[in-house]
Amino acid sequence: MKKKVLLLLLSVALLFTFGCSKDSGSADDVVEIVFWHGIESKENNEVLERKIAEFNAKHPDINVKAQSYGAQDQAVGKIQTAVSGGNPPDVVWLAPAYTGQFAQAGVLVPAEDFIANDASFNANDVYEGLWDVSSYSGKRYTTPFSANNLAIFYNKDLFAKAGITKTPDTWDEFVDVAKKLTVDKNGNGKIDQYGFQVPIGTNEWTVWTWQTYLWQAGGEFLTEDGSAPAFNSIAGVEALQFWVDLVYKYEVANFSETDAGYKTEDFEAGRIAMQIIGPWTLPQLNANPDLNYGVFFMPKNDRYATNIGGENLFIFKTDEAREKAAWEFAKYVMSADFQVDWAIATGYLPVSKSAVESSEYQQYLNENPVVATFVDQMNHGFARPSIPEYNAISAALGQEIEKALYRQVTPKEALDNAAARAQRELSR
- The residue ranges of every structural domain in the chain are 29-148+309-382, 151-297+389-426
pLDDT of residue 8: 39
CA–CA separation, 405 vs 401, rounded Å? 6
Strand pairing class (139-140; 135-136): antiparallel
Give the number of other Cβ atoms within 10 Å of residue 402's Cβ.
Answer: 20
What is the DSSP-derived secondary structure letter of residue 155?
E
User: ∠ CA(262), CA(265), CA(271), 5° rounding?
Assistant: 110
pLDDT in tens, 127-147: 888 898 899 988 999 999 999
91, 35 contact by CB (below 8 A)? yes
pLDDT of residue 27: 56
Q: Tell me which amino acid residue 23 is.
A: D
Q: Tell me which amino acid residue 284 is.
A: Q
pLDDT of residue 73: 62
Element (H, E) at 275: strand 274-277
293, 105 contact by CB (below 8 A)? no
Superfamily of 29-148+309-382 according to CATH:
Periplasmic binding protein-like II (3.40.190.10)
Give the strands of the sheet with 293-296, arranged side by side.
274-277, 151-155, 293-296
pLDDT in tens, 34-72: 999 988 778 888 989 999 999 999 999 999 999 999 876
Asked if the domains 29-148+309-382 and 151-297+389-426 are classified in one and the same CATH topology, the answer is: yes
How far the first Cα of the chain sits from its last, in Å, is 77
Superfamily of 151-297+389-426 according to CATH:
Periplasmic binding protein-like II (3.40.190.10)
pLDDT in tens, 209-261: 999 999 999 999 999 988 999 999 999 999 999 999 999 999 999 999 998 89
CA–CA separation, 173 vs 114, rounded Å? 47
315, 178 contact by CB (below 8 A)? no
Q: How far is CA 42 from CA 47, 201, 333, 355, 367, in A?
A: 9, 31, 19, 24, 25
Q: Tell me which amino acid residue 183 is.
A: V
Q: How far is CA 197 from CA 167, 200, 264, in A?
A: 17, 9, 10
Ranges of the chain with pLDDT below 70? 1-28, 72-73
Strand pairing class (91-94; 306-315): antiparallel
Model confidence, pTM: 0.78
Q: Tell me which amino acid residue 222 is.
A: L
> How many residues are given for the chain?
428
Report the SS3 class of residue 33. Answer: strand
CA–CA separation, 350 vs 334, rounded Å? 8
What is the maximum alpha-carbon separation in the chain?
A: 110
Name the nearest CA neighbour of 295 among 372, 350, 242, 224. 372
User: DSSP string covering 86-154, please?
Assistant: T---SEEEE-GGGHHHHHHTT-B--HHHHHHT-TT--GGGB-HHHHHHTEETTEE-SEEEEEEE-EEEE
Burial 378-397 (b: 16+ CB within 10 A, else e): bebbbbbbbbbbbebbbbbb
pLDDT of residue 11: 39
35, 29 contact by CB (below 8 A)? no
pLDDT of residue 428: 85
Give the number of other Cβ atoms within 10 Å of residue 5's Cβ.
Answer: 9
CA–CA separation, 269 vs 261, rounded Å? 15
Name the nearest CA neighbour of 215 among 377, 389, 352. 377
pLDDT of residue 403: 98
270, 288 contact by CB (below 8 A)? no
Q: How far is CA 265 from CA 167, 176, 202, 246, 285, in A?
A: 22, 24, 20, 20, 10
pLDDT of residue 42: 80
